[in-house]
Amino acid sequence: MFPRMKDLRNINIPLNTAVIDFDEFTSSSMHDRIHGLERVIDEFLSQPVFTEAEVFFSGFDAICQAYDVIIKPFDHLLKVTRDDDLNEQLLNLRKARQNAVKRMMEHDAFRQFVIAGTDSTSILGDEFKRFRTVLNKKSQLLGLALPKNQRDSIAELSNEIVALQSSYRKRVTDASSSFGEQMATVSKSDERYARKKAWIQRYTANLSDQHDTRPIITKILDLRKDLSHRLGADNYAELMAGHRAAGSTDVIDRFILNSADRILPEARNRLTTLKAFAATVDSDIKELQPWDISYLNRLYLEKNFSLPSGDEDKTSGSRIFQLNHSLDIIVEVIDNFFGIQLNEVHGLPVWHPDVRVFDWFDSAGRQIGRQYLDLFTRPGEKSIGAWKSSILHGCSALGREQLPVCGLQCNFPRGKTGETVYLAWDEVKTLFHEFGHCLHELCCQLRISSLSGTQVDRDILEFPSSFMELYSQQPAIMKMLGNDSGRDHEISNETLKILQERDRFMAPFKDLRRLKLAWFDYQLHKRNLTDIAEIHELYLACEKNYGLVEIPASAWPETSFNHISAGDYAVGYYGY
């Protein structure tokens, strides 16, 4: 698979430029491929001297990419299928990749071209200069300047954190089978006791023995604290701020406080409105509780921003947008705005029959990427929420042509077989949001795989997706979404206007939720908290200061906060 190299430019990376056979990622062939890569690294690093910075950087990137074409599909499959065997394999693969990166960073050429920055690096193009900056930052997180025994300890800490994050995600997914039903009860039930029971069940689901994430949370935080101290930072917030676009904790502090000054007054005004409305709905509601909020919001919107009866589908309520038509409009918007065409492809290997595949083409008819759509919920099997996954990063350095490949996952209700699937307006906006991430991934045309797509500072990652989400709310786009020939009539202008008014009413609540979680994430890591009681106390204070109402101490919403405990948004959630 890997011929002997005389020059790094002859490296043969097994790229997936066309079809990914997802079945192969559960086979023992992965072991052979990793061993093959280790031989390539040995040969790469055995070269006595590198005279050109670009040759070293290209080789570094090529080897990282060779690992990623194995690891990325593995990581993706773990989030969309119930295959516990994948987890251990993935952890071993990640350890192998990290060890490869560590070995290359310990090479004299890395110190020469990245840390010292010799004359050879001064003639690099902008992209390679950016890669050098990124590598320099990554080397700091690996403790490259420290003695070898300390570097090895830091690598062990990092590997342990990754393993714990995977365990955390699995426990949340395992407990998630009833999440949708529980939150539907909270929003729709007229029985206050039933709403309370469902809300408590949802936010205590990760306290039971087999689903308890609290020991994992404390261990992750303890390891992050240890890692920060070993790398010379007082806390994890300080450590990671230097690896965010913000650049420092002072900037993050000011941003969150300024956001609070803008968001809190409007949210409290909305809450006052909701309290007054509650008195007209149920005389027993003397004081609002968390299980009352979504219920009252729904009733308030129905009363004050009710949709015309012709646009309230009898079987789907506020689900008035056909899924397939919404996808058609997104495809049309992407074509009109970006000059990119999406063509559906059939007959390719997929991990579930629901999955659809689209190839993306630029205005010249050149394929620029591939997208997998997995839109329906599979409780207990598929991770919760909606997200874009990078299955393969694109690149074109030194002839290593690799088209980017991504997955777009949602958890929309599927409905009965043969029935038309309808989306609520919030779900349509979610679809636009995730397509924004896909645009970011698939439209990137950088030469270097390690910089490609959404591999950017975490606190600016949400800009393209937020742009698309906001763009979906433009009157012209909403009109296109409403002009559905599959319905017996168009969605009226009146309905579209009412949906915009609903958005304006709900916006402060949604902004406040993001602020609350951003503050919790940031303070959690700034204060070096590792005791579960102190962590919970912080979350309760967070709800008191930045939530709509205080929550009972028996509820633990923070135990299923995937973004910071199972993802890469720690000290970065404020980017939302």
- Beta-strand pair 387-392/356-361: unpaired
Nearest to 441 by CA among 402, 397, 392, 400: 392
pLDDT digits (tens, 9 = 90+) for 552-576: 999 999 999 998 888 789 999 999 8
The average pLDDT across 461-486 equals 90
| Better-scored residue on pLDDT, 6 or 42 | 42
Task: Tell me the C-alpha distance between 6 and 501, whole Å.
Answer: 66
Task: Tell me the C-alpha distance between 129 and 117, whole Å.
Answer: 10
Interhelix angle for 84-105 vs 53-80, to 10°? 170
| pLDDT-wise least confident of 23-27, 370-374, 425-429 | 23-27
How many beta carbons lie within 10 A of that of residue 189, not counting itself? 16
Question: How high is the mean pLDDT of the chain?
Answer: 87
CA angle 444/445/446 to nearest 5° reads 100
Task: Note the pLDDT of residue 119.
Answer: 54
Percent of the chain clearing pLDDT 90 (strictly above): 60
Interhelix angle for 53-80 vs 29-45, to 10°? 160
Helix, strand or coil for residue 17?
Answer: coil
Percent of the chain clearing pLDDT 70 (strictly above): 91
Task: Tell me the C-alpha distance between 435 and 403, whole Å.
Answer: 17
Task: Tell me the C-alpha distance between 22 and 75, whole Å.
Answer: 11
Scanning 143-248, the segments in alpha helix (DSSP H) are: 148-174, 179-188, 192-202, 214-230, 236-241
Residue type, 417: T
| Better-scored residue on pLDDT, 307 or 450 | 450
The average pLDDT across 4-9 equals 33
Q: Is the pLDDT of residue 36 over 90?
A: no
The average pLDDT across 45-69 equals 83
Task: Tell me the C-alpha distance between 366 and 552, whole Å.
Answer: 56
Task: Note the pLDDT of residue 266.
Answer: 95
How many beta carbons lie within 10 A of that of residue 306, not counting itself? 11
Q: Is the pLDDT of residue 318 over 90?
A: no
CA angle 171/176/180 to nearest 5° reads 165
| pLDDT-wise least confident of 18-27, 172-181, 504-513 | 18-27
All residues at 6 or more sequence positions from 401 whose CB lies less than 8 Å from its CB, including other chains: 15, 17, 395
pLDDT digits (tens, 9 = 90+) for 121-138: 555 688 888 999 999 999
The average pLDDT across 359-381 equals 93
pLDDT digits (tens, 9 = 90+) for 278-297: 999 988 888 999 999 999 99
Task: Tell me the C-alpha distance between 536 and 522, whole Å.
Answer: 14
Q: Check if the beta carbon of residue 223 is closer than 8 Å to that of residue 162.
A: no
| pLDDT-wise least confident of 177-181, 240-244, 318-322, 343-347 | 177-181
- Beta-strand pair 367-376/405-412: parallel
Task: Tell me the C-alpha distance between 455 and 448, whole Å.
Answer: 11
All residues at 6 or more sequence positions from 49 whose CB lies less than 8 Å from its CB, including other chains: 109
Task: Note the pLDDT of residue 488.
Answer: 59
Taken in order 76, 39, 128, 394, is the CA torsion positive or negative? negative
Q: Is the pLDDT of residue 258 over 80?
A: yes
Q: Is the pLDDT of residue 114 over 90?
A: no
Task: Tell me the C-alpha distance between 495 and 553, whole Å.
Answer: 41
Q: How confident is the model at residue 322 (pLDDT cuts 50, 70, 90)?
A: very high
Task: Note the pLDDT of residue 42.
Answer: 85
Task: Tell me the C-alpha distance between 82 and 80, whole Å.
Answer: 7
Q: How confident is the model at residue 217 (pLDDT cuts 50, 70, 90)?
A: very high
The average pLDDT across 83-93 equals 79
| pLDDT-wise least confident of 4-8, 452-456, 503-507, 522-526 | 4-8
- CA 354 centroid distance within chain: 21
Nearest to 217 by CA among 520, 457, 545: 520
Q: Check if the beta carbon of residue 214 is closer than 8 Å to that of residue 560.
A: no
pLDDT digits (tens, 9 = 90+) for 376-433: 999 888 888 999 999 989 887 656 678 899 999 999 998 787 888 999 999 999 999 9
Residue count of the chain, please give it: 576
Q: Check if the beta carbon of residue 299 is closer than 8 Å to that of residue 281.
A: yes
